[in-house]
Amino acid sequence: MSIQEDYGSLVFGAKTMGKYLSHKTYQSLLATMKNGTALDPSIADEVAVGMKNWALDYGATHFTHWFQPLTGTTAEKHDSFFNPSSEGGVVASFSGKELTQGEPDASSFPSGGLRATFEARGYTAWDPTSPAFIKKNSDGVSVLCIPTVFCGYHGEALDRKAPLLRSQAALVKQLHRVAKLFGVEDTERPYATLGPEQEYFLVDAEVYRKRPDLVQTGRTLFGVRPARHQQLEDHYFGKIKNRVLSFMAEVDRELWKLGIPAKTRHNEVSPAQFELAPVFEEQNLSSDHNMLTMEILQNVAERYGMVCLTHEKPFDGVNGSGKHNNWSVTGPDGKNWLTPGKTPHENAKFLMVLVSIIKGVDTFAPLLRASVASAGNDHRLGANEAPPAIISIFLGDQLTDIIQQLEKGRPESSKAGGVLEIGVSSLPKLPKDATDRNRTSPFAFTGNKFEFRAVGSDQSCATANTALNAIVAWALDEVMNEIEALTSKGTDFNSALQSVLQKEIKEHKRVLFDGNGYSDEWKAEAKRRGLPNLTNTLEAIEAYRDPKVIKLYKDAGILSEIELESRYVIEKEKYEAVVALEANCALTMAKTMFLPEGISYSAELADSCSSLTDYAHAGVSSLAKKASTEVEALIKEIDKLEEAIGKGSPKDELQGMHNVRLHVDALEKIVPGSQWPVPSYGEMFFIG
Ligand code: ADP
Ligand code: MG
């Protein structure tokens, strides 16, 4: 089958629907999917039958409501289509009710106190804006998956999709208002777009199995980066090794079947690190597609004798993995509104949207930081790595210049050449090239979209995008309110816009930063500017308890105060659980693998001393001394780690792990590689 024929073959999308549904139902469902309008209940039964027939044709025996509980992964519970018939056989059936609503036992999913256990019932409800698909494993076992939101008995959101959809509604409302304000054509439902670039590592499955830390926690808790490593030097965009390329090709084929527009694949900067980027899509769909992409990466890796690591920081000393969250909006005129326009009028709209984004990001930087907070991502954010935990915006030279002109009013001259007057002057054509890149910025304008780079490679995009939509909707609302307040008093529109944008830039320009985000100077400068630097999850999630954030989410109908508090509780518990798991794993490995090895090697060295020449004797006994000093220190640190675990303090546990690691890593540098109980970084980095 050609790629074109195969593309989307596992999706109940427009093409397939046409074959399995009557014309009338098809039209109605298509409108629901496209415009996000409510589903006409009278067609649910027919849609269900069509979907079932399609799924059966593909060999599916079961269906499942597919959802994203707050655990961070996706969940599914399979039900077969088959019921005993009165004649003694079975009949396949699937009703509209089964399609649109499910009732999984919610009591084992995290609810952060939202749902007392006596209200264990949870509901899943069909999200028709993300099409149903068939998941097929390598043995051909096929399941019909129906994307759903997951909520509690009283409608409380227990997942990541419900708030995302609600935040989209808030944004859509403001985008229509912008269209009206600027007299822009309003013929389609506007929507946010998302293109998540996914980074990941690959390790050989055999090597992986010998590392209890990787198996249990997804990251190495010990290990020394080789001083020089060929793969450290020229991995980025390097030639893709055969086995990896075959893996990538199969990943692409699997994704295409699911209608996921995988586009780019390449080696990333760290050894054994890679990236996959899709073509951007409507945000909710793209977010679901990213969850599936992570699953497919893991499944296909297994078939190639490898393990795909989506953890944010599997290896110390080399770059971790993120998800570059490319975000934009397509207006009701069907155009990308973050593309600087050709006419002064379009530019005015572009600048208003841009300044609103700046206002939103500056005002709610802690919320954005919270939306990407996790134990794994803490090792990237705030740890001298891209991107920093300080949320700032990179605009690039040209746009910075334009913003500066706007702030000042009428400038004498400018890089762009000319005077910038809103609604009158044209913007220069902004080059969308490599000079506009700054890899250290957490939030960068890249020509026609913003790239939020702080999202962790293992996270769902939904939470970060919920925050993004929310803050932009809020800022647009505020800015338009201010403009309307002026125009209602008789100020002409362009002057009102100009003065409001000037004021907003003055207030929020502190968040703009084009320099090196890794540097210590920036940390100091950011502090002077009053920008928050929230280096760990526990600090970051405090944003969920900030009255300003509570009001933001409540007013926009995204999350009630109770729902938001439940996020706080869940993220905190999850963080503590991850750190505790790591601490216990580190303790066991140190006690049962590294300490015994350190002891026996020290003894071996000491024993061998007697039979040596004087010169060798001196060298070996100094090595023996070094080894036994490390062993002694390790014993002490193991005791302290054990104590920290007893106290259950994540901060102490992290510190304890760090200290234990120092001595284990020091021993790894002394003990012969062939004797070291686990594969080294060098062995893990080799993937060919
Ligand atoms: P780079 O960031 O390396 O320049 P691209 O600009 O081609 O690469 O795109 C990177 C990612 O951004 C891709 O996933 C792409 O689909 C996505 N992207 C491009 N335009 C948009 C948009 N308007 N909205 C959201 N994502 C977009
Ligand atoms: Mg990019």
For residue range 125-182, list pLDDT tens digits in order: 999 999 999 999 888 899 999 999 999 888 889 999 999 999 999 999 999 999 999 9
- Going from the Cα of 324 to the center of ligand 2, the distance in angstroms, rounded, reads 6
- Going from the Cα of 35 to the center of ligand 2, the distance in angstroms, rounded, reads 29
Q: Could you state, in order of their start, the residue ranges of all structural domains in the chain? A: 3-159, 168-202+213-225+276-284+309-545, 575-685
573 pLDDT above the threshold of 50: yes
In contact, 637 and 663? CB cutoff 8 Å: yes
Q: Strand, coil or helix: what is 389?
A: coil
Most confident of 1-5, 157-161, 654-658: 654-658
The Cα–Cα gap between 437 and 358 comes to 18
310 pLDDT above the threshold of 90: yes
36 pLDDT above the threshold of 80: no
Please state the rounded mean pLDDT for residues 409-415.
47
Closest ligand to residue 282's CA: 1
Distances (CA, A) of 318 to 383, 385, 441, 442: 12, 9, 18, 18
- Going from the Cα of 195 to the center of ligand 2, the distance in angstroms, rounded, reads 9
CATH architecture for the domain at 575-685? Up-down Bundle (1.20)
pTM for the structure as a whole: 0.95
Write down the pLDDT at residue 119: 62
Write down the pLDDT at residue 431: 53
Write down the pLDDT at residue 346: 80
Please tell me which residue, 528 or 519, carries the higher pLDDT value.
Answer: 528
pLDDT band at 435 (very low <50, low <70, confident <90, very high): very low
**Atom nearest to 324 CA in ligand 1:** 11
Candidates 193, 255, 339, 449: which one to mutate for ligand 1, based on the most atoms within 8 Å of Cβ? 449
Which residues are placed with Cβ below 5 angstroms of ligand 2, an ion? Answer: 324
Write down the pLDDT at residue 113: 75
Place of tokens 């802690």: 366
- Binding-site residues, ligand 1, Cβ < 6 A: 193-195, 197, 277-280, 326-328, 336, 446, 448-449
- Residue closest via CA to ligand 1's atom 23 equals 328
Write down the pLDDT at residue 154: 82
- Going from the Cα of 195 to the center of ligand 1, the distance in angstroms, rounded, reads 6
AA letter at 317: G
pLDDT band at 662 (very low <50, low <70, confident <90, very high): very high
232 pLDDT above the threshold of 70: no
pLDDT band at 112 (very low <50, low <70, confident <90, very high): confident
**Atom nearest to 278 CA in ligand 1:** 14
DSSP string spanning 511-567?
Answer: GB--S-TTSHHHHHHHHHHT--B--SHHHHGGGGG-HHHHHHHHHTTS--HHHHHHH
Candidates 282, 326, 330, 455: which one to mutate for ligand 1, based on the most atoms within 8 Å of Cβ? 326
Q: Strand, coil or helix: what is 589?
A: helix
In our burial notation (b when 16+ CB lie closer than 10 A, e otherwise), range 308-343 reads: bbbbbbbbbebbbbbbbbbbbbbbbeebebbebbee
Instruction: Find the farthest-apart pair of alpha carbons in the chain and give their distance in angstroms, rounded.
Output: 99
Which one of 3.40.710.10, 3.10.20.70, 3.40.50.720, 1.25.10.10 gives the CATH number of domain 3-159?
A: 3.10.20.70
pLDDT band at 414 (very low <50, low <70, confident <90, very high): very low
Element spanning 197, H or E:
strand 191-204
The Cα–Cα gap between 142 and 128 comes to 21
Please tell me which residue, 379 or 608, carries the higher pLDDT value.
Answer: 379
Q: Strand, coil or helix: what is 87?
A: coil
Write down the pLDDT at residue 512: 97
